[in-house]
Structure 1
């Protein structure tokens, strides 16, 4: 099959494939990390150092197969979980026993979330009848249709209050929070998929939208810049009809941006390009260098720096997240991570390829599986990351030696359905000693890794985490 575009086409494809669902009671199989055994439906397989502490299913209007769990944001004792139908607020003060604090119905994929101060920001990447939380789907070809960013007041996490909406070109597939000082935050909005017949999403679309948010007056938030990041048009991609899975997508915007504000840099996963940006002036980001991998990368999806900011882990979302790519047919270098070293200084920095990393376990052909969202586990002197792989589960791996990454632990469920159904872990992030996974179909999973190689990470405590706004975990406060 051809790779499925992450925007627009995927949303329709998902609804056509989400069938044949079976929610069986889970049993646990303990297996070595290199096991080739594929767990059955309703089973959990894992390495001995990983433990599923609890699961909370999707709630109320956010339940249902078409309402996919998406991204995470954390603040204090609260976790905010995105969902295509809204978001959920959890109290995680006792990680093994989280409590649902609020369920907010506000349809509009992807509903990726970030938080800052008393505000929550929500990405809407589907054409809606209006900018309210009661909107319905609307044609992309209608000028009056809306998609973009929404802002909520979460000063009372039990009762989030809708404040403001800002329309952006081609909507907001994902967004990245960039602090601008005590009273200002910036949202870098990633969107893509322009079409000639879409009045608000015209090609070429080689830009991001920058929203400036006055934190004390969020109702005044507005788009203040639309910098063109690819004046040469970016990667032209492979022509239509190129044989699957060897088709690289053309660059027409960015999918995901990860800022490292303390280092004044940002990594961009921009469809056909992997990019390193300078964000010294948050209103005027510019490209330092970029790379391509037309042989093995189909869709540059997301990026994570190591803490020293001399490496980037890029992910390839081969198949748009809805295909079975963790099998012998696809192999170990497609649908994987690519680890790059950052060499040089200043505007002369370059990205040097080091290695690929892909989970070393085959998945069933009924399991969508590919590299997806993760974050660092903050272990001094080491580069260790936890990562979601959809139905490939959750993997913890060490890339301290960027040329020889190795897996430290893993946990996964067996196939969600006897047909290829979009499911599994969308985002798996490490926050204050625990791994929180937003499972597309199953809801919140809290996972604990107990391993002398990662245990020191639990000593690092954060008051807030937006995974695409990386902190310097070991900076002197």
Structure 2
């Protein structure tokens, strides 16, 4: 998610979620910059080889680093204050190319050609980068998608905004259906949002849907919402005991375009979707899990025959990596896809208990491209970065890790996203900036020769 903290810290929100969590309890955390302790632990096969700390206007404790995307020799990192473009030609020495101040929660990011897309899940006075926070009950409040032209990496230009119902907590870039011998003419953004209320004029219940934005690549300024398909006409999973929040849309969607397949992590439900008609995806199967509090994200294996779903128990701000919580909650669930249905096989959770001061739960990760194996790198907030093998769906196991000590003073922190890109693991640390890791292991070494041109982790292709 995680729970969104407004820039003022008066309201705890991380996407509307805190208005839902724990009886709308307000979470107040310190906003002073926090420093990790010197206690850094890694497995023998994992090494921190480089990185760059938060700087300038993004250095404050409430300037949370968020998601990552990659393109050629560049990495793009979202932040609650905007986004940063890094030159990663030398991964051990990433360098800032440009930093754009455009505050909003969460500023999750994806890239396509010369376009960069940001998700805004915070009601603002306008779509301007100078807008202030607004209450969702105000009709004129804006939230949704911002589009930037990044053809000049040193001088990105804000070119378009699209308002979407209930904002955009996350979005998924989906290529159009290319005709034989033709280039893509458009991309779609599947916009996930949630948290409706009767008093929100643009986000009223029920909100059992997503918004789909079509972006013509030849004229991105004409981008617009083209459909708002209802995924849960029956309301979805709303009554299961222990849910962090009932289903009111999706939190995250991952697509496998070659198979016209999508996996949705939809709060109380995990789903598969047929996306052969890009503007009208259809849910084909649904599952629930008594141990899941919040279906947060999904990752396919390389052949599109498995899905790893994550449970963000506690919304990302709670210490759940401990003996009291146990190995089956706040964890990953591995499902095989059998005859179009999701078949549960096992849970995976990091095997190290964290301190009560460390927010820790399963979060964003990606595949490591190894032929014939299913290996994933994943962020666990202050639980660090875990590399684990789920080739045997019934017996997943960790093969490497990187774990810092708790932040002092206590604060929201740790790895938001950890992704493998062209031989290195990049971790977006909420408080510390960008970390670059390597893993040296016979199970993952073959991946080092694979070179990708672009990586938006919610848009998966077979390697």
SS of the residue corresponding to residue 28 of structure 2 reads: helix
Q: Is the 8 A contact 2:239 2:246 kept in 1?
A: yes
Residues in 1 aligned to 2:136 and 2:250: alpha-carbon distance in whole angstroms: 19
Match for residue 29 of structure 1? none
Aligned mate of 2:302, from 307, 313, 330: 307
Residues in 2 aligned to 1:378 and 1:471: alpha-carbon distance in whole angstroms: 10
Aligned mate of 1:358, from 349, 360, 371: 349
Equivalent residue runs for 1:361-380 within 5 Å: 361-380=352-371
* 1:202 is aligned to 2:204: yes
Aligned mate of 2:111, from 115, 119, 125: 115
SS of the residue corresponding to residue 17 of structure 1 reads: coil
Q: Is the 8 A contact 2:368 2:375 kept in 1?
A: yes
Cα 1:120–1:14 shift into 2, 3 Å: farther
Cα 1:290–1:449 shift into 2, 3 Å: same
* 1:55 is aligned to 2:46: no
Match for residue 35 of structure 1? none
Q: Is the 8 A contact 2:35 2:409 kept in 1?
A: no
Unmatched tracts of structure 2, length 5 or more: 4-11, 179-183
Match for residue 32 of structure 1? none
How big is the shift at 1:13? 7.5
Q: Is the 8 A contact 1:21 1:416 kept in 2?
A: no
Q: Is the 8 A contact 2:244 2:314 kept in 1?
A: no
Residues in 1 aligned to 2:299 and 2:380: alpha-carbon distance in whole angstroms: 15
Q: Deviations over 1:365-385 (max 9, x none)?
A: 000000000000010100000
Residues in 1 aligned to 2:354 and 2:434: alpha-carbon distance in whole angstroms: 22
Q: Deviations over 1:318-368 (max 9, x none)?
A: 000000000111011000000000001xxxx11000000000000000000
Residues in 1 aligned to 2:122 and 2:62: alpha-carbon distance in whole angstroms: 14
Residues in 1 aligned to 2:148 and 2:253: alpha-carbon distance in whole angstroms: 22
Equivalent residue runs for 1:387-398 within 5 Å: 387-398=378-389
TM-score, normalised by the number of residues in structure 1: 0.90
Cα 1:186–1:156 shift into 2, 3 Å: same
Aligned mate of 2:390, from 391, 399, 407: 399
Equivalent residue runs for 1:306-455 within 5 Å: 306-344=301-339, 349-419=340-410, 421-455=411-445
Match for residue 140 of structure 2? 144
Residues in 2 aligned to 1:222 and 1:19: alpha-carbon distance in whole angstroms: 36
* Runs of 4+ in structure 1 over 6 Å off: 11-15
Match for residue 34 of structure 1? none
How big is the shift at 1:418? 4.5
How big is the shift at 1:57? 1.1
Match for residue 172 of structure 2? 176
Q: Is the 8 A contact 2:32 2:60 kept in 1?
A: no
Residues in 2 aligned to 1:105 and 1:14: alpha-carbon distance in whole angstroms: 27
How big is the shift at 1:21? 5.1
TM-score, normalised by the number of residues in structure 2: 0.93
Residues in 2 aligned to 1:288 and 1:325: alpha-carbon distance in whole angstroms: 32
Aligned mate of 1:7, from 8, 12, 15: 15
* 1:277 is aligned to 2:279: no
Q: How many residues align?
A: 443
SS of the residue corresponding to residue 458 of structure 1 reads: helix
Match for residue 123 of structure 2? 127
How big is the shift at 1:247? 3.3
